[in-house]
Chain A
Amino acid sequence: MLRLILLSAAALSVTASAASAETIRWARAGDSLTLDPHSQNEGPTHALAHQIYDPLLQRDMAGAIIPALATEWATLPGNPNVWRFKLREGVTFHDGAAFDAEDVVFSLNRAKADTSEMQELLASVIDIRAVDAYTVDLETEGANPLMINNLTNTFMMDKGWAEANDVAKPLDHNAGETTYATSNTNGTGAFMLVSRSVDEKTVLQANPNYWGADIYPHQVSEIIYTPIQSSATRVAALLSGEVDIIQDVPVQDLGRVGATDGLKVVTAAQNRVIFFGVDNVDGPTADVRVRQAMNMAINRDAIQQIVMRDQSDPTGVIMPPFVNGWTEALNEFPAYDLDAAKALMAEAGYGDGFDIALNCPNDRYINDEAICQAAVGMMGQIGINVTLDARPKAQHFPFIKEGNSDFWMLGWGVPTFDSHYIFNYLLHTNIGSRGSWNPTGFSNAEVDEMIVSLESETDLAVRDATIAKIWDIVQAEQVHLPIHNQVLNWGMKDGINFDVQPEDQPHFQFLTFN
């Protein structure tokens, strides 16, 4: 009897693998938080939403902007305040409804709603109008030359479906409500939702009417997405052949995965920079010479080789290389020079050093706590006595945002791929809607003014000059202590051809099989 069961199990597994030759079993550390495309502005949530829903335009696997549901876009001649989008014709939602301008107007308004987490990216939009069935105008308050960079994760929903299911607005956390769109979808994307169990398994199936079927390879017939939180288990699942592709390969297992027959590791620079913030106003770090000394005392090469096992790109600026405004010169960092650092410390009157606490997350960035531990030793060499306080992100971020820390670690991704996004949140004075991640106290009226001017400057040459000028001031002031840009590693079967996307978002319509 037992033999019979085993035999039939073997037979079943054989037929299953033959029938699903183009199934991709995909694992990463975290699950998507919600299927509602406007309810969370978070990496894994967008990554899943991209399979099911489409934005007007999106970033491809190399990070370049390509058309999605819009085929053309430009500001109106003579009126830089209005962006005109030509929509793709003949697109249908998964339930068969046609996609047109009405859906775009609805979706953008939904993304702007007060319960939406995408609202800040659309803050400059004052009106969204349908010109005809396949043309939409988006009017901004003043010119916004970078409007389209903010739309790459803003997904389009069907107006009729959303209204019929009473999800015209994203979920309201305050009301303690739950909505249909949290666990049901109707997109235009390459894959349709088959089933979903949170933190366990989400099954998607290829959309037979996908508009991009002739544009992209679109070879994957089914996606089985399983979050696996424990990194050892995630690697084990890849090694044992239970999954085909994993994101977030821990650096200590890269060698093992790469050396395994039939598996490979694909690596690419990530759009995320890791750095230390310091109090620019109070205490010893208010002196720019102390900040420069600390910057010189960070042995970035040692962090790269030992802590990160070569999986990082050391940098001297808090800007990933994808970002508009990045230059080779800015990226250069000072040589690791203890004598020069000590001399600067003495000049600033801190020749005997000082005590400071370093606040660090321990569950957010790659080897975050280990980097901080290394920094404790490095600062010790120039007399700075650092006590490390490593905590989960849920405690770390509120702590630093409320200005309680003098010395902290932070990472920053730049979804718009433009320097303005860094300036606006990390360097503008913390006031109103700007500077919300700037607890350094750095506040420079001239810089603030230039940051605001970037938002409406349509002459790109002038704009780039302003960006360069801001970076010069910021670098001279040594507002932050940059460490490195993270590197992404995806582990996958040899039979798969798939690039690593700099925002850590796999778009499976691009995947091909050997």
Chain B
Amino acid sequence: MLLIILRRLGQSIFVLFLVAFISFMIFRYVGNPVDNLLGQEATTERREALIESLGLNDPLHVQYFDFVVRALQFDFGVSYRTGMPVAEMIVQRLPATIELALVSAVFAILLGVVAGVYTAINRRGFIANAILSSSLIGVSLPTFLIGVLLIWIFAVELKWLPSFGRGTAVDLGFWSTGFLTISGLKSLILPGIMLGLYQMTLIMRLTRAEMLEVLRQDYIKFAKARGLPDRTVYFGHALKNTLVPVITIAGLQLGSIVAFAIITETVFQWPGVGLMFINAVYFVDIPVMSAYLLLVGTLFVLINLIVDLLYLLIDPRLRDGQLRRAGS
């Protein structure tokens, strides 16, 4: 067991190095930061000197090697754009993204499961069909547009909720939270919906399909024949068996919620790591871009690792030699 975990950890580290290498190859095509760093009056010599001293003329493998050596010492350098240490910037901005991801995940799972169960039970109901067809709109509209629509309705027309920002955040020293103030909570609603909408419809459709499948099973028929109340049949027996795949998918989607937060954070000027990343791309802020991609890579690798280990825990058959298939 320990050997398997160690092997998985080793693979994960290899994947991270690969992520870093691919991101370095991409940086070549993002542009050149020097024209952003220098004023428009800068001389051609000074421009070339800066390119040289930032190491942008070095071959790819040299730049990559420098980065890996420093990253191994947790030194991610200083942002070209803000002049602040990258590690400090990430620590400052991570709470905003994590809180947003948490809110949208809770929204997606709660509403998704409830709507999924409802539409499965009332298959031919008018409301169920309305939910299903409107969820189709939710999936097919670009999230960017949904965000703008939400702002238009709830901020401009109704003036109920703020259109941008995080409201007043309370600094707890190691973590700044928006959960403790009314403006902070209000600010979470619109971006939370925008970010969670796609996952919600996904979970809803998955729950519905699983539920329909389960409802056809013999034990449900027997339960009904035994005269158990509908409530017990649906929620006591059927839902429990539906949830296993739903939870697996929801867990895996958590990673993509953090990654998708880039668009939501741009629309709502949400001060998280996604906004930091998009600004870094515009500026060609290589230290920030590489650190962010490594962070997201670590997140995905960690989630996959946990899922793999959970499978091991749940299914003893996987422990002897069949791991590779489960992890693929």
Q: Mark A381-394, 1 if CB is under 8 A from B, else 0.
A: 00000000001111
Smallest beta-carbon distance A193→chain B, Å: 16
State whether the Cβ of A332 lies closer than 8 Å to any Cβ in chain B: no
Among residues 16 to 55 in chain B, which have CB atoms less than 8 Å away from a CB atom of chain A?
29-45, 47, 50, 53-54
Q: Mark A345-371, 1 if CB is under 8 A from B, else 0.
A: 000000000000000000100000000
Residues of chain B within 8 A of A233, CB atoms compared:
148, 151, 163-164, 267-269
Among residues 405 to 444 in chain A, which have CB atoms less than 8 Å away from a CB atom of chain B?
425, 430, 432-433, 436-437
Residues of chain A within 8 A of B34, CB atoms compared:
398
A118 vs B170: C-alpha distance in the bound complex, in angstroms?
38
State whether the Cβ of B200 lies closer than 8 Å to any Cβ in chain A: no
State whether the Cβ of A121 lies closer than 8 Å to any Cβ in chain B: yes
Q: A39-B83, A41-B40, A178-B83 are in contact. Are A226 and B78 (CB under 8 A)?
A: no
Contact A199 B37 (CB under 8 A): no
Task: Output the residue of B29, B34, B89 with the most chain A CB within 10 A.
Answer: B34
Q: Mark A112-155, 1 if CB is under 8 A from B, else 0.
A: 00000110110000000000000000000000000000000000
Residues of chain A within 8 A of B42, CB atoms compared:
117, 120, 436
Q: A5-B182, A433-B43 are in contact. Are A229 and B266 (CB under 8 A)?
A: yes
Contact A173 B82 (CB under 8 A): no
Contact A392 B35 (CB under 8 A): no
Among residues 183 to 213 in chain A, which have CB atoms less than 8 Å away from a CB atom of chain B?
183, 197-201
State whether the Cβ of A40 lies closer than 8 Å to any Cβ in chain B: yes
State whether the Cβ of A174 lies closer than 8 Å to any Cβ in chain B: yes
A392 vs B279: C-alpha distance in the bound complex, in angstroms?
12
A178 vs B82: C-alpha distance in the bound complex, in angstroms?
9
Contact B31 A394 (CB under 8 A): yes
Q: Residue of A at shortest CB range from B279?
A: A199
- Partner of A436 from the list B47, B148, B287 (CB cut-off 8 Å) is B47
A242 vs B34: C-alpha distance in the bound complex, in angstroms?
36
Residues of chain A within 8 A of B43, CB atoms compared:
120, 432-433, 436
State whether the Cβ of B81 lies closer than 8 Å to any Cβ in chain A: yes
A145 vs B14: C-alpha distance in the bound complex, in angstroms?
63
Residues of chain A within 8 A of B251, CB atoms compared:
none
Contact A177 B41 (CB under 8 A): no
Contact A197 B156 (CB under 8 A): no
Contact A230 B266 (CB under 8 A): yes
A36 vs B82: C-alpha distance in the bound complex, in angstroms?
10
Category for how many chain A residues contact B = 35 or more
Q: Residue of B at shortest CB range from A34?
A: B83
Q: Mark B246-284, 1 if CB is under 8 A from A, else 0.
A: 000000000000000000001111010001100100111
Smallest beta-carbon distance B98→chain A, Å: 16
State whether the Cβ of A237 lies closer than 8 Å to any Cβ in chain B: yes
Smallest beta-carbon distance B283→chain A, Å: 7
Q: Mark A198-240, 1 if CB is under 8 A from B, else 0.
A: 1111000000000000000000000000111110111011011
Contact B41 A363 (CB under 8 A): no
Residues of chain B within 8 A of A241, CB atoms compared:
159
Q: Residue of A at shortest CB range from B79?
A: A178
Q: Mark A166-182, 1 if CB is under 8 A from B, else 0.
A: 00000101101111001
Among residues 37 to 81 in chain A, which have CB atoms less than 8 Å away from a CB atom of chain B?
39-42
Residues of chain B within 8 A of A179, CB atoms compared:
83
Residues of chain B within 8 A of A398, CB atoms compared:
31-32, 34-35
- Partner of A176 from the list B32, B77, B89 (CB cut-off 8 Å) is B77
Q: Residue of A at shortest CB range from B80?
A: A173
- Partner of A171 from the list B50, B83, B156, B266 (CB cut-off 8 Å) is B83
Contact A242 B164 (CB under 8 A): yes
Q: A236-B163, A392-B31 are in contact. Are A199 and B276 (CB under 8 A)?
A: yes
Smallest beta-carbon distance B59→chain A, Å: 18
Q: Mark B76-100, 1 if CB is under 8 A from A, else 0.
A: 0110111111000100100000000
Residues of chain A within 8 A of B112, CB atoms compared:
none
Residues of chain B within 8 A of A242, CB atoms compared:
155, 162-164
State whether the Cβ of B138 lies closer than 8 Å to any Cβ in chain A: no
Q: A227-B269, A229-B266 are in contact. Are A40 and B82 (CB under 8 A)?
A: no
Smallest beta-carbon distance A12→chain B, Å: 8
Contact A178 B283 (CB under 8 A): no
A176 vs B162: C-alpha distance in the bound complex, in angstroms?
38
Q: A34-B82, A394-B283, A437-B40 are in contact. Are A236 and B35 (CB under 8 A)?
A: no
Contact A174 B32 (CB under 8 A): no
Residues of chain B within 8 A of A305, CB atoms compared:
none
Residues of chain A within 8 A of B284, CB atoms compared:
394
State whether the Cβ of B166 lies closer than 8 Å to any Cβ in chain A: yes
Q: A117-B38, A173-B37, A182-B84 are in contact. Are A200 and B166 (CB under 8 A)?
A: yes
A308 vs B53: C-alpha distance in the bound complex, in angstroms?
41
Q: Residue of A at shortest CB range from B75?
A: A176
State whether the Cβ of B222 lies closer than 8 Å to any Cβ in chain A: no
Contact A176 B78 (CB under 8 A): yes
Residues of chain A within 8 A of B65, CB atoms compared:
none
Q: Residue of B at shortest CB range from A170?
A: B83
State whether the Cβ of A497 lies closer than 8 Å to any Cβ in chain B: no
Residues of chain B within 8 A of A432, CB atoms compared:
43-45
State whether the Cβ of A374 lies closer than 8 Å to any Cβ in chain B: no
Residues of chain B within 8 A of A393, CB atoms compared:
31, 35-36, 282
- Partner of A425 from the list B40, B47, B80, B287 (CB cut-off 8 Å) is B40
Contact B165 A240 (CB under 8 A): no
Contact A228 B269 (CB under 8 A): yes
Smallest beta-carbon distance A253→chain B, Å: 11
A393 vs B266: C-alpha distance in the bound complex, in angstroms?
18
State whether the Cβ of B152 lies closer than 8 Å to any Cβ in chain A: yes
Contact B35 A33 (CB under 8 A): no
Contact B269 A226 (CB under 8 A): yes
Contact B33 A425 (CB under 8 A): no
Residues of chain B within 8 A of A436, CB atoms compared:
41-44, 47
A436 vs B47: C-alpha distance in the bound complex, in angstroms?
10
Contact B165 A226 (CB under 8 A): yes
Smallest beta-carbon distance B5→chain A, Å: 36
Q: A236-B155, A430-B44, A437-B40 are in contact. Are A395 and B82 (CB under 8 A)?
A: no
A361 vs B246: C-alpha distance in the bound complex, in angstroms?
45
State whether the Cβ of A460 lies closer than 8 Å to any Cβ in chain B: no
Smallest beta-carbon distance B49→chain A, Å: 9
Complex A-B, nearest 3 residue pairs according to Cβ-Cβ distance, in ascending order: A41-B39, A394-B31, A120-B41
Please give 14 more A-B residue pairs, beta carbons under 8 A apart, in addition to A242-B163, A394-B283, A432-B45: A40-B39, A120-B39, A174-B50, A174-B54, A198-B84, A200-B165, A226-B164, A239-B156, A392-B282, A394-B282, A395-B29, A401-B47, A430-B44, A436-B47
12 A–B contact pairs at CB < 8 A? Answer: A41-B41, A120-B43, A173-B80, A174-B50, A176-B287, A178-B83, A198-B82, A198-B84, A199-B271, A230-B269, A432-B44, A433-B45
